[in-house]
Amino acid sequence: MNFELSDEIQMLKKSVREFVQHEVEPVAMQIEREDRIPDEVIEKSKEMGLFGISIPEEYGGLGINMVGKCAVYEEIGATHNGYTTLLGAHSGIGTVGIVEMGTEAQKQKYLPAMARGEKIGAFALTEPEAGSNAANLKTTAVKRGDKYILNGTKHYITNALVADVFTVMAVTDPDKGAKGITSFIVEKDFPGFKVGKVEPKMGLHGSQSAEIVLEDCEVPVENVLGEEGRGYVNALKILANGRAGLAARNLGSCQKLLDMSVRYAQERVQFGVPIIEHQAVAHMLAEMAVDIEALRSLVYRVAWMVDEGKRVIKEAAMLKLFGSEVYNRVADKAVQIHGGIGYISDYPIERFYRDARITRIYEGTSEIQKNIIASQLNREYSK
Amino acid sequence: MNILVCLKQTFDTEEKIVIENGEISEDGVEFVINPYDEYAVEEAIKIKEEQGGEVTVLSVGPSRAESALRTALAMGADKAILVDDESLFGDEYTISKVLAAVAKRDSYDLILGGYMAVDDGSAQVGPRLAEELDIPHISTITGLEVNGDKVKVEKDVEGDTEIIEASMPVLLTAQQGLNEPRYPSLPGIMKAKKKPLERLTAGDIGINPDEIKAKTEVLDQFLPPKKEAGKILEGELDDQVKELVQLLRNEAKVI
């Protein structure tokens, strides 16, 4: 057992922490107001190498293991979640498909530019009729010569406005259900590719989600990602891989909320004493701290399991579920401890509270995670 | 161009100093590159990026100082040297002798450092090192241009700017305002672990520690006394003035 991060990972963590504090935090309110991440922040993030977190070294990325990635994600999570989501969706679901299932030619073509942030990645699975029931896709892909012709509409696609490279799931054989789905690498400049309506949302400002319309979109056959018919399995793998990173980002947000809440409770005086001396407030802080410490342990344990090549379907689902639920509980208590100021938009607490809510929904709802956990239990106990 | 940067690892400037049994406690303390030395590291890397060359970072200090050198490597320095030998730790006199011995192993066109360290604030090591090496030095620079074998520096003098030209080899010490040090980028950090870091002891640099023993001695270390709350005089202005004069005379004893 060793709970120490290596010197190198600690150095990555420290550098990202300082970068986030000095370059992103000062514009967090601006991001929230303008629903846009300043170009300067994106440029500096590229220089920092933050777009190459999940890309192997030979393709210009960082080449760090999952523990290292989670350490970096934890620090990124401590700031505006819109910024966090842009980077997370790129490095997680936007890139991992090509890293894990791409051919050598595909990796050579896309990954170096993605590692530099010159090309941003996104993942397009969800459709109006295929949310939690992800296999119920209506987007079709028909092979014609050396191309596939894609038709359909994807929605709620994170990074749609800024991304250049999309991992798109489409049905190649409608008779085979989930086994008739194939993944494709689709570039935004391919003929027939259009970004549709941007969906305004409750939180995650700065990270736009939009519709993607594929109208006779031409995708060369060499852009099939993985084997034909393996698209659904690919999608599940990509999502499972993203789960540790997502929970690590939530962990960073939770830690930030705890830091702010403890400091506020030490300073805010009511009934003649700092409110941290009121047991009702003190207990909320204690509960937050316990939740966060448990989440931290689970994040790094699952990350370690991934690095060891262990099977993590159940644990990754537990982590996604726990990380999202903890973030919501912590954000709720942070608002309660801050009182009125926690509800006011001039202060970041209410922003985290709104941003937390989506984590129980996207990349697999909490309920879907419970289904996965239970079905894994059923399997284990049937042996 | 061959550039040497001397740096010291110091407490993070945000750390609270705790004294235990007469010693400054290092328990749970975050260490950083001395901020003035960080300007020197940044400047050296900038010159290298613009004109080519090699940047060596050098420190005398305990093993933990390796992380400061690794940070400099992650920022873009090429190689590091750590003199990690307790018999060579001492005061400014000792340290500049040790740095000089290491600097003499190679030939450097430019030697950079911070003008002082934020911990002891002596501002002596740079000039002393230049004397040891018998090269000119210019301290507290806020601007630097390198042209051929010449440097042109700017430094603040009582609110004005002095511009000085000198030939290399030369030693320059950095003042705040010289540049804005970069963050070590993530790929930079990954590359840093593969860059060479040489560890030296007294024997390696041919120094007899007994001959360069510190010339000064620390007798006591204590925190400054707590500031007492100020006194606000009240009442009629005439009375306040009388009271103030009386206090300045009898209590503060300044008039």
> Are residues B59 and B153 both part of a single domain?
yes
pLDDT at A7: 87
Positive or negative, the Cα torsion across B208, B210, B216, B221? positive
Is there a domain that residue A2 lies in? no
> Are residues B17 and B134 both part of a single domain?
yes
User: How far does A53 lie from chain B, in Å, by closest CA?
Assistant: 8
Residue among A202, A196, A166 at smallest CA distance from A184: A166
Residue A49: which of B67, B71, B186 has the nearest Cβ?
A: B186
Residue type, A71: A
Mean pLDDT over the full length of chain A:
95
Residue A48: which of B183, B192, B193 has the nearest Cβ?
A: B183
pLDDT at B231: 85
Give the domain extent around B246: 225-255
Active site residues of A: 363
> Are residues A216 and A242 both part of a single domain?
no
pLDDT at B31: 93
Q: Inter-chain contact A62–B186, Cβ cutoff 8 Å?
A: yes
Distance CA(B42)–CA(B182), nearest Å, equals 7
Query: pLDDT category, A65, cuts 50, 70, 90?
Result: very high
Please tell me the total number of residues recorded for chain B in this structure: 255
Residues A26/A28/A33/A38 CA torsion (nearest 10 deg): 80
Residue B183: which of A8, A15, A64 has the nearest Cβ?
A: A15
Choose one of A115, A150, A170: the last residue of a domain: A115
Q: How many domains does chain B have?
A: 2
> Are residues B41 and B92 both part of a single domain?
yes
**pLDDT mean over A24-30:** 96
pLDDT at B68: 95
Domain CATH for A94: 1.10.540.10
Mutate to test the interface with A, among B189, B193, B194, B197 (most CBs of A within 10 A): B189
> Are residues A172 and A103 both part of a single domain?
no
Query: pLDDT category, A237, cuts 50, 70, 90?
Result: confident
Q: Inter-chain contact B190–A50, Cβ cutoff 8 Å?
A: no
Q: Taking 80 as the threshold, does the pLDDT of residue B17 lie above it?
A: yes
Q: Inter-chain contact B183–A12, Cβ cutoff 8 Å?
A: no
Q: Taking 80 as the threshold, does the pLDDT of residue B214 lie above it?
A: yes
Q: Taking 90 as the threshold, does the pLDDT of residue A268 lie above it?
A: yes
Residue type, A177: G
Percent of chain B with pLDDT over 90: 80
Domain CATH for A365: 1.20.140.10
Percent of chain A with pLDDT over 70: 100
First to last CA, chain B: 59
Q: Taking 80 as the threshold, does the pLDDT of residue A241 lie above it?
A: no
pLDDT tens digits, one per residue of B110-153 = 999 999 999 989 999 999 999 999 999 999 999 999 999 999 99
**CB within 8 Å of A359: residues ≥ 6 apart:** A246, A250, A323, A324, A327, A328
Query: pLDDT category, B227, cuts 50, 70, 90?
Result: confident
**CB within 8 Å of B134: residues ≥ 6 apart:** none
By a Cβ cutoff of 8 Å, what residues of chain B touch chain A?
67, 70-71, 74, 183-190, 192-193
Is there a domain that residue A326 lies in? yes
Residue B234 burial (10 A CB sphere; 0-12, 13-18, 19+): exposed
Note whether A188 and A148 are within 8 A (CB). Answer: no
> Are residues B236 and B162 both part of a single domain?
no
pTM for this model (two decimals): 0.87
Give the domain extent around A300: 233-381
pLDDT at B229: 82
> Residue A255: left (phi > 0), alpha (psi -120 to 50), or beta?
alpha
Is there a domain that residue A272 lies in? yes
Distance CA(A317)–CA(A295), nearest Å, equals 13
Mutate to test the interface with B, among A6, A9, A14, A64 (most CBs of B within 10 A): A14
Q: Taking 90 as the threshold, does the pLDDT of residue B238 lie above it?
A: yes
pLDDT tens digits, one per residue of A162-180 = 999 999 999 999 999 899 9
Residue B189: which of A15, A47, A57 has the nearest Cβ?
A: A15
> Are residues B197 and B112 both part of a single domain?
yes
Residue A281 belongs to what H/E stretch? helix A279-307
Q: Inter-chain contact B67–A7, Cβ cutoff 8 Å?
A: yes
> Are residues B137 and B242 both part of a single domain?
no
Q: Inter-chain contact B186–A18, Cβ cutoff 8 Å?
A: no
pLDDT tens digits, one per residue of B165-190 = 999 999 999 999 999 999 999 999 99
User: Which residues from A are below 8 Å from B186, CB to CB?
Assistant: 12, 15-16, 48-50, 52-53, 62, 72
Q: Could you tell me the two tokens for A81?
A: 């979640």
Is there a domain that residue B217 lies in? no
pLDDT tens digits, one per residue of A296-350 = 999 999 999 999 999 899 999 999 999 999 999 999 999 999 999 999 999 999 9
User: Which residues from A are below 8 Å from B195, CB to CB?
Assistant: none
Distance CA(A307)–CA(A68), nearest Å, equals 10
Is there a domain that residue B121 lies in? yes
User: How far does B26 lie from chain A, in Å, by closest CA?
Assistant: 18
pLDDT at B203: 93
Residue A237 burial (10 A CB sphere; 0-12, 13-18, 19+): middle
Q: How many domains does chain A have?
A: 3
Is there a domain that residue A314 lies in? yes
Is the ipTM beyond the 0.90 threshold?
no
Residue type, A267: E
Residue A209 belongs to what H/E stretch? strand A209-220
User: In the 8-state DSSP scheme, what is residue B34?
Assistant: -
pLDDT tens digits, one per residue of A102-119 = 999 999 999 999 999 999
**pLDDT mean over B48-58:** 96
User: How far does B193 lie from chain A, in Å, by closest CA?
Assistant: 8
Q: Inter-chain contact A11–B189, Cβ cutoff 8 Å?
A: yes
pLDDT at A238: 84
